[in-house]
Amino acid sequence: MATAPIEFNPFDPAVVADPYPYYRLMRERDPVHRNATIRTWFLTRHADVCELLRDERFSSDGTQGERYVPPPPGRGRPGRSMLVVDPPDHTRLRNLVSKAFTPRMVERLRPRIEAIAADLVDRLADESGADLISRFAYPLPVIVIAEMLGVPARDRAQFQEWSAVVVRGLDPVLDSETQEAVFDARDALVAYIRGIIGERRREPADDLITAMIAAREEGDLFSEGELVGMCNLLLIAGHETTVNLIGGGVLALLRNPDQLDRMRREPALAATAVEELLRYAPPVQWTGRVATEELELGGRRIAPRQTVVGILAAANRDPEVFGDPDRLDIGRDPNPHVSFGRGIHFCLGAPLAKLEAQVALPMLLERFPDLRLAGEPDPRPTWNLRGLAHLPVAL
Ligand code: HEM
């Protein structure tokens, strides 16, 4: 067996096109891998990724890392959100909104989610083909989060444009033109959110932004910047993730006709199917942390301020944990995938994302029994948020 040193380069277009062979190579040959050029550690084993996300000696605050480059003064700074802070601030911020996202609260949205999905499906009914991303996978979660927060429907298209640029900033290194575009889009988004907060202050409504403003005014528990950061995080998370679960999920089923058939015959498998699609095609491929002290992980020594990336998508295919990991099996149970992370930053929106997919996928398959691919799906160019720009289907 070849034992030449490997170097994982996440900017190689071949990695973005199909990262799984690279993940496997790393997991087998160098599971705690250091790329010295980009000064980053990459973890690919399930156990190591879980350890990274649970060990409080790792921080979520990237500004503490050796690789942090601050944006130019006054530019590209969204307010800090729970995603990028540690306790006690993390605990305080997460507690402010966690009630709105519990499985019980989210279940109350089911009729509305069903109505939105049914309306989108109805609009497709007279057509022979469509781009499933723009006509179904994208609008569903976007309408849901916009309604929860209270963002006016008329602004959706503009918002969508900024959000797509902002998330390019999640990839580790950018050329200067993209970096500028990311700063511009972040600034535009923050200005927009400040505008909405101002509107809700003048005219309160029955939505999450109004509730957060009220909480801030009553208890002064969080700053104006943190309020902006929270809205920013929820809007972006609601726009850029579930679309890829639904879009990537449909594609995975179309490419595995035995599993597609099984799903049609046994719609009761929706819950395990959604977990399996999350494992098999994770919308968020990785998440990073910064070491706050010298420590050891998987037999390697990590220095303070070094960046460690846990590749969730690689952990999800670790044969130590998942039998036949490259196989899609919509009945797989148990399924301890890490697509929503682990530990204190475990995805707040997980119950919502799962419910949306559990409603959307069976409805789509029932309504269009002949659903099939009608051309090459068009991947988005980002490594972290893995998804499709277009998914042409015949209906
Ligand atoms: C399939 C869809 C989704 C996936 C795969 C996903 C994935 C993730 C992951 C991996 C994390 C943890 C990041 C880390 O540990 O560094 C996370 C955190 C988070 N997600 Fe999601 N997410 C999804 C949908 C959503 C939705 C719909 C919302 C809300 C509208 C949301 C809100 C959040 C928030 C607020 C956090 C930060 C939690 C914290 O820091 O305590 N997510 N998500």
Q: What is the pLDDT of residue 327?
A: 98
Shortest CA distance to 62 belongs to which of 279, 345, 349? 345
Whether 27 contacts 314, CB under 8 Å: yes
Question: Distance between CA atoms of 273 and 361, rounded to whole angstroms?
Answer: 10
Q: What is the pLDDT of residue 128?
A: 92
Question: Distance between CA atoms of 313 and 274, rounded to whole angstroms?
Answer: 15
The helix (H) or strand (E) run that includes residue 309 is strand 307-311
Whether 157 contacts 134, CB under 8 Å: no
Tens of pLDDT along 115-124? 999 999 999 9
Stronger pLDDT, 17 or 113, i.e. the higher one? 113
Tens of pLDDT along 298-310? 999 999 999 999 9
The residue whose C-alpha atom lies closest to atom 20 belonging to ligand 1 is: 347
**Dist. CA 234 → ligand 1 center (Å):** 9
Stronger pLDDT, 316 or 74, i.e. the higher one? 316
Question: Sign of dihedral through CA atoms 135, 138, 139, 140?
Answer: positive
Question: Sign of dihedral through CA atoms 304, 232, 236, 162?
Answer: negative
Q: What is the pLDDT of residue 220?
A: 74
Q: DSSP character for 134?
A: I
Tens of pLDDT along 228-281? 999 999 999 988 899 999 999 999 999 999 999 999 999 899 999 999 999 999
Question: Sign of dihedral through CA atoms 242, 246, 251, 253?
Answer: positive
Q: How confident is the model at residue 83 (pLDDT cuts 50, 70, 90)?
A: very high
**Dist. CA 349 → ligand 1 center (Å):** 6
The answer for residues whose C-beta is within 8 angstroms of residue 286's C-beta and 6 or more apart is 309, 310, 311, 312, 313, 383, 384
Q: How confident is the model at residue 155 (pLDDT cuts 50, 70, 90)?
A: confident
CB atoms within 10 A of CB 258: 11
Residues with CB under 6 Å of ligand 1 are 53, 60, 82-83, 94, 145, 233-234, 237-238, 241-242, 245, 283-284, 287, 339-341, 345, 347-349, 352-353
Question: Distance between CA atoms of 290 and 308, rounded to whole angstroms?
Answer: 6
Mean pLDDT taken over the chain:
93
Q: How confident is the model at residue 174 (pLDDT cuts 50, 70, 90)?
A: low
Q: How confident is the model at residue 49 (pLDDT cuts 50, 70, 90)?
A: very high
pLDDT at 78 over 90: no
Shortest CA distance to 163 belongs to which of 175, 177, 145, 148? 145
Mutate-to-test residue for ligand 1 from 241, 307, 355, highest number of ligand atoms within 8 A of CB? 241
Question: Distance between CA atoms of 79 and 189, rounded to whole angstroms?
Answer: 11
Question: Distance between CA atoms of 26 and 299, rounded to whole angstroms?
Answer: 15
**Six-digit token string for 88:** 């006690």
The helix (H) or strand (E) run that includes residue 297 is strand 295-297
Stronger pLDDT, 16 or 31, i.e. the higher one? 31
Question: Distance between CA atoms of 10 and 385, rounded to whole angstroms?
Answer: 13
Whether 241 contacts 284, CB under 8 Å: yes
* Nearest atom (ligand 1) to Cα of 82: 40
Q: What is the pLDDT of residue 173?
A: 61
